[in-house]
């Protein structure tokens, strides 16, 4: 019986301590304290986690530079923009960015040459001095966008929304504005409109169409296949 007694003795002491209310309260306080410590550490490290998230997004964008397709760049760009990170000078030339959502994005001096960004939302975005040449921006939303000094040569803006957009200093040579909405567009400082197609362009500001035609723009249905 001695081995059994030896085992029973420590269990009796354990039962005694567990039955004490104060001991259980101490355990409860310790549990709550550990949760509090975990919460403090979580928030203290939130800045590092955000930096890591942004680093990974930039890595996706830079790794895919010069390549076609999306390569995860749509999600990466949207993540950075949603976190308020400026996209100044970003290079996504030739990328597939269809339906990307970058409202109010800071895209100054960005390279969007030859991108496919149909049905995208760039409302209020800043494209100052950006390169959008030969880009496909059909049905894109550029309302209230800043396009000062932007290069838009041969871009497809068919059915795009350019209401309130600022195009002062922009080059629009060969741009297709067929069926585009030009309501309240700021055009007086446009740099060039040679071969710019105005066929079907809607709500052109007063004076814009005659000025554009006089400076090399065209209004030729055969030039555009906008619906």
The tens place of each residue's pLDDT in the chain, 227 residues long, gives 555 455 555 556 555 555 555 555 555 555 554 555 544 544 444 557 788 999 999 999 999 888 888 889 999 999 999 999 999 999 999 999 999 999 999 999 999 999 999 999 999 999 999 999 999 999 999 999 999 999 999 999 999 999 999 999 999 999 999 999 999 999 999 999 999 999 999 999 999 999 999 999 998 755 557 76
Domain assignment of residue 20, yes or no? no
Domain assignment of residue 46, yes or no? no
Domain assignment of residue 43, yes or no? no
Domain assignment of residue 37, yes or no? no
Q: Domain holding 187: CATH number?
A: 2.160.20
- Domain boundaries, position 141: 68-222
Domain assignment of residue 4, yes or no? no
Domain assignment of residue 29, yes or no? no
Q: Domain tally for the chain?
A: 1
Distance CA 131, CA 111 (A): 5
- Spatial CA neighbour of 212 closest among 226, 182, 222: 182
The answer to whether the CB of 98 falls within 8 A of the CB of 121 is no
Domain assignment of residue 134, yes or no? yes
pTM: 0.77
Distance CA 116, CA 118 (A): 6
Q: Which two tokens stand for residue 40?
A: 């403090």
Burial of 83: CB neighbours in 10 Å, binned 0-12, 13-18, 19+ = exposed
Q: Which two tokens stand for residue 171?
A: 């080059």
User: What is the model's pLDDT at position 41?
Assistant: 44
Domain assignment of residue 193, yes or no? yes
């Amino acid at each position: 019986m001695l081995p059994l007694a030896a085992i029973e003795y420590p269990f009796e002491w354990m039962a005694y301590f567990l039955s004490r209310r104060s001991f259980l309260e101490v355990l409860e306080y310790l549990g709550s304290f550990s949760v509090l410590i975990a919460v403090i550490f979580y928030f203290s490290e939130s800045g590092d986690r955000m930096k890591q998230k942004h680093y990974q997004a930039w890595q996706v964008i830079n790794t895919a530079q010069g390549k076609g397709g999306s390569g995860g760049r749509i999600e990466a760009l949207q993540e950075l923009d949603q976190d308020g990170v400026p996209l100044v000078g970003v290079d996504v030339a030739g990328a597939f960015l269809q339906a990307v959502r970058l409202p109010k994005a800071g895209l100054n001096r960005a390279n969007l040459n030859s991108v496919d960004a149909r049905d995208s939302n760039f409302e209020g975005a800043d494209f100052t001095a950006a390169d959008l040449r030969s880009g496909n921006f059909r049905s894109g939303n550029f309302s209230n966008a800043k396009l000062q000094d932007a290069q838009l040569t041969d871009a497809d803006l068919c059915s795009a929304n350019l209401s309130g957009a600022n195009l002062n200093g922009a080059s629009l040579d060969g741009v297709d504005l067929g069926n585009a909405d030009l309501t309240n567009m700021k055009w007086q400082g446009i740099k060039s409109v040679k071969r710019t197609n105005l066929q079907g362009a809607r709500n052109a500001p007063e004076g814009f169409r005659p000025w554009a035609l006089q400076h090399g723009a065209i209004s030729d249905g055969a030039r555009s296949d906008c619906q």
